[in-house]
Amino acid sequence: MSEPDSAAQPLVRIATGDAPYGDSREDALAIRVGPGGPPDGAAAQIAVRIADPALAATITERIAAAITAAAAELAAAAPQGERAVTLRSRKALARRAAEIAGAVTVVPVTERNARHLVELVGGIRAAGALGVQLVWDGEAPPRERVERHVFAVLEQARATPLGPPVVLATEARPAAALWILIAHGRRTER
């Protein structure tokens, strides 16, 4: 049996932390992510190693342009100073409806509020929220007790795309995806 040739090896190598790139071939794309990456503290470093210098320069420029554009879009999509309101119940919605208009509303999913999530999120969207983020890690509360209610909310939001966006996340800090959906909605309203 013969040894596999280098052409059969993957062209992309990903190294994390302080791990070495593990590939000295000039025809591989090497990506380093996380600590131990670039000395300037950036989260990722991409090294294009292609034998053809013109092709390497073109690919490097296009990767840099794509990453720069994506970073700019994310930065623009997460406005500074936007308010976030946390609500757990319909009673809290009734008391704080005025605070919701123009704010992102974060709704932690609990066993207690799960069966009322559709009403709660519908009320939040009707009150003029910029967007809604449900917070649930998929484990606590147990999946069998809340999953169908979470999916009912997400399906209702999907069925009414002109309303404020609704996302599911594992933490309370508004997710980048929510800011992007809010920004997209603002652009389409113009």
Distance, first Cα to last Cα, the chain: 65
pLDDT band at 80 (very low <50, low <70, confident <90, very high): low
Q: Which of 77, 104, 122 is the last residue before a domain boundary?
A: 77
Strand 131-135 and strand 166-169: pairing?
A: parallel
pLDDT of residue 36: 47
Q: What is the C-alpha to C-alpha distance for residues 83 and 103, in angstroms, rounded to an integer? A: 5
Are residues 98 and 139 located together in one domain of the fold?
A: yes
Q: Which of 57, 77, 97 is the last residue before a domain boundary?
A: 77
Q: Quick check: is 128 in a domain?
A: yes
Are residues 67 and 111 located together in one domain of the fold?
A: no
Q: Quickly list DSSP for 123-165.
A: HHHHTT-SEEEEE--SSSS-HHHHHHHHHHHHHHHHH-TTS--
Chain segment 11-62, per-residue pLDDT in tens: 444 444 444 444 444 545 555 544 444 455 454 567 777 888 888 888 888 8
Q: Which of 70, 77, 112 is nearest to 91 (CA)?
A: 112
Are residues 40 and 89 located together in one domain of the fold?
A: no
Please check whether residue 156 is in contact with residue 86, taking contact to mean a CB–CB distance below 8 angstroms.
no
Q: What is the DSSP letter of 19?
A: -
Of 2-6, 24-28, 166-170, give the range with the top mean pLDDT: 166-170
Look at 75-89, 119-133, 145-159 and tell me which has the smallest mean pLDDT. Answer: 75-89
Q: Which of 30, 51, 77 is the last residue before a domain boundary?
A: 77
Q: Which of 108, 152, 155 is nearest to 132 (CA)?
A: 108
Number of domain units in the chain: 2
Q: Quick check: is 114 in a domain?
A: yes
Are residues 90 and 172 located together in one domain of the fold?
A: yes
Are residues 99 and 55 located together in one domain of the fold?
A: no
**CA atoms within a 13 Å half-sphere pointing along the CA-CB vector of 160:** 15
Are residues 112 and 144 located together in one domain of the fold?
A: yes
Domain that includes residue 59, residue range: 6-77
Are residues 107 and 176 located together in one domain of the fold?
A: yes
Are residues 156 and 183 located together in one domain of the fold?
A: yes
